Structure 1
Amino acid sequence: MKRDRSSRVDRFGYSSIELLTVLALSAIVIGGMVVSYGTLVRSQPQVASVVEVPLANSRLTNFYGTSSSSYKDTPVAPSYGSLARAEMLREQFYHDVLSATAVYCLPRNNDNTWKPAYISYDPEVDDELDTPQKFREHIIRVAGVSASLYLDFRNPGVTSTALATNASIFILSFSAQAKKMRVQAIYDIDVIRFSTGGTQPLGFHASVKRFTDPYPLPTNTTYNLVPAGHYSVFYPPANPAARVATDFAKDGFTPLFVTFERHTRLAQRESTAIDRFKLAAERPFYFIWWPDPAARHLGEQANTAAASLPQQAYNHMAGRTSFMFTVPMFPTL
């Protein structure tokens, strides 16, 4: 007579050996999940803390239009709150560039204290402003801008002078005012090193600020642009054991931009450091880099490009930020 095994299981249940086997397998699976989860948690960036950066009141006002001490509180990298603000500012930057007639990048080592809405320009008298250097010369001549505010800079490696740690991007647009160039927006990039220690945090305060027309719009052409968006982040030294400036001397964020000139300029041979950037087929353009709030630090990155190549000046920036822009000098042409 054939026995019904299913009825036997229903009647007597599982044996002790079967239960122990199931429990052992469950323990192995759960243990593996716990280990995997712990590994994932440890590999994730920690939640950003906030550090009080000793920015002077004059600098706060210049950056943000207010001297409120709350602006000294800066998220420590990596900061995903700052990253969200950076993404919004990036979209605005693209929007500004799309409607621009000219974009001029000027390096500087001090704060940008000049933010005009209009710049005098007479096409019958003034030179053609086809390079950032000519734009700098023009504003020094017609607007009385100090020659020390923006540096006379062509590209990295041209001189032995250390690269500027800050920059201003002037975005010009169409103007309805005769003999006036309209400044649609200015983007200031500032990377400030704090290395004295003591009560100061060690690291870099990095920020990008946008300045544009105030609201309501003034009826004259002599007003200045006002703050209209920013993000900031504080990068600790790449060396977690850093205690003095020499412990993170190779940390940094330069160059902030490079300029590719038209290849037709090769008709005039200059130094290798200059000629290697004469690659633009039609119109000159920039590579521009912003600090990335998702990066942990601004530590040194390897760059093995040959000195004869333009990459030798900027290849290392790929390891420091994902905020890179390719911007034509004259977008509407």
Structure 2
Amino acid sequence: MKTLGRPAAARSGFSSMELVVVLALSALVMGAMVVSYGTLVRSQPQVATVVDVPLTSDRLSTFFNNNSSDYRDTHVAPSFGSLAEAEKLREQFYHDVLSATAVFCLPRNEGVDNTWKPAYIPYNAETDDELDMPQKFRNHIIRVAGVPLTQYVDFRNPGMGNNSLPPNASIFILSYTGTDSYLRVQAIYDIDVIRFTDPKKAMGFHASVKRYADPSPVPEGNAYSLVFSSAYRVFYPPANPLATSAAGFSTDGFTPLFVTFERHTRRAFEEGMPIDRFKLAAERPFYFVWWPDPAARHLGAQANTAAPTTPQHAYNHMGGRTSFMFTVPMFPAL
């Protein structure tokens, strides 16, 4: 017996009327999305705001190997374009650390830019001291490479004195080398947070993180310097939008850039609470490192609720200021 059903034409797909209805609904949904996106963009005017930061030509050359005025034009925080660049640099930093033999963080004082970017550092394992902490690394490069005493601060950790914390830092990432007489510098990361206080110009902070690595092609020998590779930069306005002078944002800033946790075995030599409280590493010493976050609106002061006798007191206020926080071994286990 033959079964009756719908005609073949009716089973072939949507009718013209159905397609018209679907297209109309799709247009309404897409239109609503466009309107919502436009509202979101208009509510974030800072994304496209750019200021001309009065960086000198010498500083531009030191930072970016370039003194073009284009590098003075800096996006104002929060800047999601700068955030994307920071994310890329974060991944590169992780890659460099994973292939490192040692990492040394050296702080720099305000106004002291890092002009020393060697690819190799002389080192004799038989006669030179063991480089098991940043201070010994600093002493070594001063002795064997003639680095000025003022280039990097003799700094152990926050809270050891009444001096202000250094606002800038250089991170040396060492790697394997084919010679016993040199340390190989795989990359250097410079963190600079520069305060500008002239009310007639841009008031606030120019913050940048730069990576320096081998030039291309790589020169022969071991006497060459690393060159600018990549970076992100952002300008933070004062936390007080009504500030008309330096006093209006005197408590703004971004420190410390890192803290150092030494081996626990160093507690056998007591040096006092400000130092001993950081001797917590079970085996390998390590750092906490912070980079300025382009998604933050300013560098205003944050409350610190930790007890001064604890290591947390040195960095407790950094907790909600940035999403760019790293735990970095001083001597990676590879």
Q: TM-score range by the shorter chain?
A: 0.7 to 0.9
- Per the alignment, residue 178 of structure 2 pairs with 176
- Are 2:289 and 1:288 equivalent residues in the alignment? yes
**What secondary structure does 1:97 align onto?**
helix
Residues in 1 aligned to 2:231 and 2:105: alpha-carbon distance in whole angstroms: 18
- Per the alignment, residue 146 of structure 1 pairs with 148
Moved over 3 A (4+): 36-46
- Per the alignment, residue 27 of structure 1 pairs with none
Q: Cα deviations across residues 68-113 of structure 1 (Å, max 9, x unaligned)? A: 0110000000000000000000000000000000000000021001
Residues in 1 aligned to 2:41 and 2:134: alpha-carbon distance in whole angstroms: 47
- Per the alignment, residue 250 of structure 1 pairs with 251
The one-letter code sitting in structure 1 at the alignment partner of 2:217 is P
Q: Which runs of 5+ in 2 are unaligned?
A: 1-35
Q: Cα deviations across residues 258-317 of structure 1 (Å, max 9, x unaligned)? A: 000111111111121111101111110000000000000000101110000111111111
Residues in 2 aligned to 1:238 and 1:144: alpha-carbon distance in whole angstroms: 41
Instruction: Give the alignment partner of residue 112 of structure 1, picking from 114, 119, 138.
Output: 114
C-alpha contact 2:47 2:76 (8 A) present in aligned 1: no
CA pair 37-49 structure 1, distance change in 2 beyond 3 A:
closer
- Are 2:216 and 1:215 equivalent residues in the alignment? yes
TM norm structure 1: 0.86
The one-letter code sitting in structure 1 at the alignment partner of 2:247 is T
**What secondary structure does 1:163 align onto?**
coil
The one-letter code sitting in structure 1 at the alignment partner of 2:198 is T
C-alpha contact 1:208 1:230 (8 A) present in aligned 2: yes
CA pair 302-136 structure 1, distance change in 2 beyond 3 A:
same
TM norm structure 2: 0.86
CA pair 178-263 structure 1, distance change in 2 beyond 3 A:
closer
Higher Rg? 1
- Are 2:327 and 1:316 equivalent residues in the alignment? no
- Are 2:98 and 1:70 equivalent residues in the alignment? no
- Are 2:61 and 1:89 equivalent residues in the alignment? no
- Per the alignment, residue 306 of structure 1 pairs with 307
RMSD: 1.7
Residues in 1 aligned to 2:47 and 2:326: alpha-carbon distance in whole angstroms: 28
Residues in 1 aligned to 2:40 and 2:125: alpha-carbon distance in whole angstroms: 61
Instruction: Give the alignment partner of residue 165 of structure 2, picking from 163, 166, 174.
Output: 163
Number of equivalenced pairs: 297
Residues in 2 aligned to 1:186 and 1:105: alpha-carbon distance in whole angstroms: 10
C-alpha contact 2:46 2:77 (8 A) present in aligned 1: no
C-alpha contact 2:46 2:76 (8 A) present in aligned 1: no
Q: Which runs of 5+ in 1 are unaligned?
A: 1-35
The one-letter code sitting in structure 1 at the alignment partner of 2:153 is L
The one-letter code sitting in structure 2 at the alignment partner of 1:139 is I
C-alpha contact 1:45 1:78 (8 A) present in aligned 2: no
Q: Percent identity over the alignment?
A: 71
**What secondary structure does 1:302 align onto?**
coil
- Per the alignment, residue 266 of structure 2 pairs with 265
**Range 36-45 or range 208-217, more displaced:** 36-45
The one-letter code sitting in structure 2 at the alignment partner of 1:155 is N
